[in-house]
Amino acid sequence: MEVYDDTEIFIVCPACEKSGGPFALHQLAHELRKRKIDAMMAYTGTARDENPVAEPYRKYHIPFVTDEVVRGEHNILICPETMVGSFPRHMRYVFWWLSVDNWAKTIRQQLDRALHTSFAQPLPGFISPTGEAGTHWAQSEYAERFLRMNHVPKQKIHHVSDYLDPIFLSRHADDAFDVNGRRDIVVYNPAKGAAFTRKLQQAAPDIHWVRIEHMTEREVEDCLSQAKVYIDFGGHPGKDRIPREAAICGCCVVTGRRGAAGNDVDVPINQSYKFADCEENIPSIIDCVRALLAEYPQRLADFAAYRALIRREKARFEREVEAALPFHGAAPQTKRLALLTRTTMASVALPQETAWETREDVRVSAVVDDAAAGGYVQAFQRDLPVISSEDAVFLYQEGRLEGFLRQDAEDNGMLHIYTS
């Protein structure tokens, strides 16, 4: 599906929600804007005067709409699988299968509502839109196999996955784990496979089991960084985020075989660490967990390849997005700058200086001011977002900003550009 000069891309996302799906949707918008594509979020379920952007995603500074998307023959609507149903005419659309099982739950809910309306309303849309406009993206091998099994043509499927936050990865940049400082604890998410996990706990009450519950993201990270083992016997509706975070934090990972965990592409760990969640396997699972706790320094090496693959996910994601949404013609070349106010000049390390009057291929896209961050200001005949110096550094490192514009009080107020 090609991107044109006038293409606008709208990425549908539930407002104020923090989970793996919305994280991936914001990563996509971030990547598209890095490629200078006019992409924005289209939030659903917003209340009046409510900020629809969940806190973890505000650093991306993605423009958004909360009412209607702009229809146009070159415009694209990207919709997660849980929102498959009705689609506006006169635009192209992509269904991004971030999960499979969650789609099935949505369908059951829609059917239940339909059955209680005496069929006074049309049945909801289900899967696989017809016509040339629709394309499917698969976040996981599990989703891709599901689409092919349900006769979605191969040429309509693109593999577009996701990746862990680079800032998170930077805190675990190598495999130099403090094996002696690890605690003999087994971490699990009570929202994933709770019933079977309770059976494991009952079978081994002497093991220290720790629930990931009522924790901030940083508290979850700290917990995983202390633990020796992470288990997940949930449904794995897609390539889940927490097992990957656990591996990067130095946990040995044990999973079931449901969903995406059932193949060696989405969860590429040794088969000896995967078990079907049935009662006859409970003794073997407990034996495995005990061995991982007792032999942690040696067993940690079994997950080295998994950790290396996770660290390469961002580069792969960038290639996948470029393949799924190529430019029609030449990509835009205008450099995007941020205007520094005097209070933030010392907070950002400036690259090489260039005279403003000699550059015509630049565009100011933000103002950096820690005191006013989060608002907007009228500048250069446009409303520009005001961002913090921390976010400016992040966006510069990620390639969304390519330089900075500074007013020099000692040079008659002359504007100077600093670009790499």
Question: Is there a common fold for 8-162 and 166-311?
Answer: yes
- Per the DSSP assignment, residues forming a β-bridge with 210 are 187
Which three-class secondary structure state does DSSP give residue 34?
Answer: helix
Buried b (16+ CB within 10 A) or exposed e, 194-204: eebbebbeeeb
pLDDT of res. 111: 65
Q: Which of 54, 144, 132 is nearest to 97 (CA)?
A: 144
Domain 8-162 class?
alpha beta
Single pTM value for the model: 0.86
The model's pLDDT over 352-395, given as tens digits with 9 standing for 90+, comes to 655 544 556 778 889 898 888 888 888 777 788 999 999 999 99
**Residue 350's pLDDT band (cuts 50, 70, 90):** low
Higher pLDDT, 417 or 392: 392
Adjacency order of strands within the sheet including 382-387 = 352-355, 414-419, 403-408, 335-340, 362-368, 382-387, 376-379
- Domain extent listing, the chain: 8-162, 166-311, 335-419
Distance between CA atoms of 144 and 150, rounded to whole angstroms?
Answer: 10
pLDDT of res. 112: 67
Neighbour count for residue 141 (Cβ, 10 Å): 20
pLDDT of res. 343: 58
Q: Please tell me the CATH superfamily of domain 166-311, with its number.
A: Glycogen Phosphorylase B; (3.40.50.2000)
pLDDT of res. 357: 47
- Amino acid found at 377: V
Distance between CA atoms of 88 and 93, rounded to whole angstroms?
Answer: 9
| Confidence check: pLDDT of 303 > 90 | yes
| Confidence check: pLDDT of 129 > 50 | no
